[in-house]
Structure 1
């Protein structure tokens, strides 16, 4: 019988061949003791491979063959690393221990800190989050849970073709990083899974997210303080809470968010589409120079929303006034359907009204009828065909 080799496996073999032809070091984790049986703790093997790659001083490859590898909390620290070109080529699946307490008592499951030039190609991360979510639903004695993959204080990072499923908390966090390229990533968790944000970016510059699908129980992409020069393109979101800038104004001295582009995104059945969210608290933060362009909404509850009065438990929100300054926000070619009658809502601060909002070629309907828009303390302009009628 004639058999065919999967294309992804052939691509991996080609990648390994290309890399090893130039690399001075190659590390197959199964040759360092890892077992692809879904039972044996392979964490020591990953750390051995990392130590070898760091000490090689030149380009290095860490290869994860097909199979399931149990991994506990692991930190890849580049503080003493001599190497700024380490590639992970992953054909297997990294799985968390079945006991959610093992990884859930720490903030991160797989974390990289102070690394330069790390690239991750392919593979899957399975954090086995369902049991922890069930514990939280019953209000049991549960740990907070871990982010599946995080990069902190790192630069020149590539994440390509990775799949992340059922994270206990956030799937991917980019924190304090520079020049990060995320492409072809698939993120999956049930729509009712708590705090399972797809990708969170904060305090980072030059992050690109492209050709990515996110189905989760919280924000598909959340954008925190200190994010600059963020490019998001061809992202499919849903279920989830949309793409959110915020929550902001958690603290008084908070760096701003600027130069963000969201292009060619599709939202399906999400709670929100394009959202900017700030607590009703004093803050020195800001949001400016944001472009939302060529976006499709499919039955989205709040397609376009700015909320500067966020305070769900009415705690620590004196006079419900947000200090965040929001300006130069453009919505261009945003079309589709709203699941609620109010498709555009700008609820801005009395002390710091939104300025420079631009609506251009927007067409959102509700049950095949015109939707509505609602503005409070918002200033801007409408251009071309804008439906619902602009309230700016």
Structure 2
């Protein structure tokens, strides 16, 4: 009887999805190629979000100009936003209202963002230049993210491409059970602050089979992130896949359960990277897994950096109070641009990094002279398997 009930429910859901109403912005809401579609898109979303059955909002093939859009829930039924066209942002970031992002999805359960389209943030000299005396920050309009996902549950993003964002490409905050799959990020290697996917204060986030080339971290995992799975990602150019920087601000929440598996890095600044600020607030980082990774001409293939200070004055003589424990690094191979292919620069506070386990490393220095080494500060890793280069004979206390 239970099986029969499940079968009836499954058939009902299949019929409901198959009969989902399509809200095409060009057929019902007056959107035209090369025209501005903010109002048409907002009207189509209002109709789709209030539909009593699952629905689809469709942006068909073509080029469309978009000033700004906020897709706000909750919705009555699941909604698919299918983007097959190319959306073009304003070149001047000041055109977008202060405090807004370019495209925002908030308070939605069961959202699907799909399609083969491109979100072109039109980053460039007006957004990325640091020499212009009339920078956007001085104008009072911070640079916008291409995508801002805020308080989503049980949702997915697949197929689309984020191009040349003015700031982060995808910002994921306060989300639960969200999957990125076959999501692409494209930006020049010199574009500043264009993080591919940023995750913070979220749990059960999956990032699978994505291709990310950008000017900052391909993926950044910040505080409050729990159970983040990253698999099959191709990163480059960029600064690698990072956890942090952590400990700079009061009130930061722990990071636990980050899995980076079967990923490749090409000509990136870092491979996998844990970074914490010196003179930091206490914080706990635990259950970190870096496994089955390939590096090609990466500056720092494996890097724990507890004196991270990129651009402001830091009290580097005061150690980081972030505790890093239970880190598992397994089966990492490839080439490095620096002799220190594994850098474990842990804090001298407490016991530094605890329970760092390294196995099956095969990393070669691809430079003019010298040989590959592993560097250890305030940490005594547990080594197993084949190690090229050999593990640290001792932990240097500096």
TM-score (norm 2): 0.89
Contact 1:364–1:370, Cα closer than 8 Å, also in 2: no
Q: What SS class does the counterpart of residue 91 from structure 2 fall into?
A: coil
2: CA distance, partners of 1:74 / 1:320: 45
C-alpha change, 1:33 and 1:333, in structure 2 (3 Å) is: same
1: CA distance, partners of 2:133 / 2:353: 39
Q: In the alignment, which of 115, 138, 141 is matched to residue 135 of structure 2?
A: 141
2: CA distance, partners of 1:19 / 1:170: 36
**Which residues of 2 match residues 91-240 of structure 1 at below 5 A?**
91-103=84-96, 105-122=98-115, 123-143=117-137, 144-240=142-238
1: CA distance, partners of 2:235 / 2:312: 30
Alignment partner, residue 68 of structure 1: 63
Contact 1:149–1:172, Cα closer than 8 Å, also in 2: yes
Shift of 1:324: 0.7
Q: What SS class does the counterpart of residue 57 from structure 1 fall into?
A: coil
Deviations 1:93-133 (A, max 9, x none): 11102333223844511011111111011221001001324
1:297 paired with 2:291, answer: no
Contact 1:96–1:103, Cα closer than 8 Å, also in 2: no
1: CA distance, partners of 2:133 / 2:263: 36
1: CA distance, partners of 2:292 / 2:348: 31
Q: What SS class does the counterpart of residue 320 from structure 1 fall into?
A: coil
Structure with more strand by fraction: 1
Alignment partner, residue 257 of structure 1: 255
**Which residues of 2 match residues 2-21 of structure 1 at below 5 A?**
21=18
C-alpha change, 1:289 and 1:133, in structure 2 (3 Å) is: same
**Aligned pairs, how many?**
372
Contact 2:29–2:43, Cα closer than 8 Å, also in 1: no
CA RMSD of aligned residues (A): 1.9
Structure 1 ranges of 4+ moved more than 4 A: 17-20
Shift of 1:33: 3.4
TM-score (norm 1): 0.90
2: CA distance, partners of 1:163 / 1:26: 22
C-alpha change, 1:238 and 1:372, in structure 2 (3 Å) is: same
2: CA distance, partners of 1:36 / 1:270: 40
1:86 paired with 2:79, answer: yes
Alignment partner, residue 348 of structure 1: 346
Shift of 1:137: 4.0
Shift of 1:58: 2.0
2: CA distance, partners of 1:139 / 1:222: 30
2: CA distance, partners of 1:142 / 1:44: 26
- What runs of 5+ residues in structure 1 fail to find an aligned partner? 1-16
1: CA distance, partners of 2:58 / 2:335: 45
C-alpha change, 1:220 and 1:206, in structure 2 (3 Å) is: same
- What runs of 5+ residues in structure 2 fail to find an aligned partner? 1-13
Alignment partner, residue 4 of structure 1: none
1: CA distance, partners of 2:208 / 2:146: 20
Alignment partner, residue 46 of structure 2: 51
C-alpha change, 1:281 and 1:19, in structure 2 (3 Å) is: farther
Shift of 1:317: 3.4
2: CA distance, partners of 1:260 / 1:95: 34
Contact 1:350–1:377, Cα closer than 8 Å, also in 2: yes
Alignment partner, residue 385 of structure 2: 384
Worse-matched range after superposition: 325-334 or 373-382: 373-382
Alignment partner, residue 4 of structure 2: none
1: CA distance, partners of 2:316 / 2:290: 31
Shift of 1:57: 2.4
Alignment partner, residue 374 of structure 1: 375
